[in-house]
Amino acid sequence: MAALTVAAIGIVYGDIGTSPLYTMKSVFAPEHGLMLTPANLLGVVSLIVWGLILIVSLKYVTLILRADNRGEGGIMALMSLALLSVGRASRKYYPLMLMGLFGATLFYGDSVITPAISVLSAIEGLEVAAPVLQPYVVPLTVLVVIALYALQSHGTGGIGKWFGPVMLVWFLALAAMGIINILKAPEILAALNPWQALMFLDRNRLIAFIALGAVVLAFTGAEALYADMGHFGKTPIRLAWSLVVFPALALNYLGQGGLLLADPTAISSPFYQQLGAWSIYPLVILSTIATVVASQATISGTFSMTKQAIALGFLPRMRIVHTSAGEIGQIYIPLVNYLQLAAVLVAVIGFGSSSHLAAAYGIAVTATMLTTTILTFFVIRYGWRYNLLLACVATGLFLIIDFAFFSANVLKILHGGWFPLLLGAFLFTVMLTWKRGREIVFQNLQKHAIPLEDFLPSLFIAPPVRVPGTAVFLRGESDGVPHAMLHNLSHNKVLHERVVFLTIHIEEVPYVSAAERVRIQDLGHHCYQLNVRYGFKDEPDIPKVLELAADYGLAFEMMETSFFIARQTLISTPGSGMALWRERLFVAMSRNARGAADYYQIPANRVIELGTQIEI
């Protein structure tokens, strides 16, 4: 438990743990119009501390962690749980799917901005020590980011074990700096009274509302503790937050408040001025390492979410590389890595500073938090069967808080908030286009499908010549006779002595146990239907499935087994289906998608592909 808790400190809390680098400076940025007065300072610090209590401690650690999908968390898992709760027949199903999908795409925006703002804010410490170094901040940030993404293909197995201890040192440093500055200005402890936050909001009204858009930066990364639940479990995540992360963050924000009470001129960079000039360079080094760890967590989370989206049918199949022989969750997706690196570099170079990026950060975070709260309501109401009043009480307060923060960030759309929204809208369009395109392909196949239960009896009235070996035909859910089988009979005029129709079902759960993985149906004449069930976090591996089938009386000799796959060539036709530009986008994605044989780990030398054309 201790080892898991330390590991959780490194992976789960890296993002929220680096928020003290830029939050206070952003709240009192000149564009917000908030004056740095003792009363306002007490109100802001009070808002941050009580936000950590309400949003992170109560909402995520206490409530959201209970909404696990067979032990797994994250927006995709929560969406699947909500969809299962309401059922496919419900009118709420499709709107909930769209909401969850949009929340997931905003997570991608978050995962682009996190490395950019974190590394930028760490290296900006150099200009505090020596203003002459200011022109080198962006180039150094670019070098650090490129190095970070270049290392992804090697996996985190070697350095991952150091993430926890490094972040533990970071949080201890945050707590120590906080205590030192609290002792210098103990009057900052008045911020522990929530009345200070309420008075601040009442006194400043509009300006306070605008400032909320920056206050939310203190809570970025809260989604990570839910998304990483499957890796560590609830208890280590809760222990890490309660014993280390929350006390360190609260002390540091109070400490920065105490520093600013004593020296308002430190607002230019309150984090790096907590201990004086001697500490700036050591803090730059430590904060750079901490932000790299925080960035790594979001990059790994992006890979994991992409894999889930592929399994659920929202993205085309991509090449997935496993970087660890012992840990199934450690994966690397080359295409996602390069695209995300390009987006991060655009953010770093385009925005140029952590202050400018702060406006872009809040909208992605608050929209994802709002989506999570709404999905949780449907899980509590329809999944856990709580009465309506209790479900409203459990999520109502958090919904009001999330909506207030989201509304404050909407004001920043023109000042950078457009960036994650643009990324999210693009990915949302891509995912919906792929999902809809696959539905159209399925519908077109269904129009010409020959029911398998009718075809087989007619085939064996005058059976073709049967040749030695086993033929495995991949067959979609509810499909008729596989096109590859029809082509094989048409061209080769033969049938293997044993025929297996393989159908893969992706369930809306993270994992399916080995005992539930395989189901076999005897269709007669040495023909079999082999149904395989995977969860959206399972690793598809057909050779392993064939080994499991032996326990059900269907043994396979791989060197005597051939896999027949229909390679679909899609043709866009105007006047039906989707808009022409969406059809072309879908066709382009389909042509570049990873082959089914490769994705399901079927040995390449046992695969026979037969082409078929489909109009959409």
Comparing CA positions, the residue from 16, 13, 56, 93 lying closest to residue 375 is 93
* Mean predicted lDDT score pLDDT of the chain: 86
Could you say which DSSP state residue 449 is in?
-
Question: pLDDT tens digits, residue range 183-218?
Answer: 999 999 999 999 999 999 999 988 989 888 889 989
**Per-residue pLDDT at 53:** 95
Domains in the chain: boundaries: 2-111+155-293+355-416, 445-615
pLDDT class of 327 with cuts at 50, 70, 90: low
For residues 529 and 506, which has the higher predicted lDDT (pLDDT)? Answer: 529
Cβ-contact 330, 307 below 8 angstroms:
no
Q: How far apart are CA 563 and CA 482, in angstroms?
A: 12
**Per-residue pLDDT at 288:** 87
With b for 16 or more beta-carbon neighbours within 10 A and e for fewer, the 503-533 pattern comes to bbebbbbbbbeeeebbebeebeeebbbbbbb
Residue 505 host element (H or E): strand 494-506
Mean pLDDT of the region 419-428 = 91
Copy the structure tokens of residue 495.
């049938």
Q: Which residues contact 565 (CB under 8 A, 6 or more apart)?
A: 474, 484, 595, 596, 597, 607, 608, 609, 610
pTM score of the predicted model: 0.81
Cβ neighbours, 10 Å, residue 547: 14
The DSSP-derived string for 547-565 is: HHHGGGT----GGGEEEEE
**Per-residue pLDDT at 172:** 95
Burial bucket for residue 233 (CB in 10 Å: 0-12, 13-18, 19+): middle
pLDDT class of 403 with cuts at 50, 70, 90: very high
Q: How many residues does the chain have?
A: 616
The least confident of 363-372, 442-451, 457-466 is 442-451
**Per-residue pLDDT at 55:** 93
Comparing CA positions, the residue from 517, 505, 521 lying closest to residue 453 is 521
- Kindly report the backbone phi and psi dihedral angles of residue 312, in degrees, each rounded to the nearest multiple of 5, phi listed first: -85, 0
Radius of gyration, CA atoms only, the chain:
27
* Ordered alpha helix ranges (H), 246-353: 246-262, 280-311, 334-351
Could you say which DSSP state residue 72 is in?
B
Task: Inform me whether the pLDDT recorded for 221 exceeds 90.
Answer: no
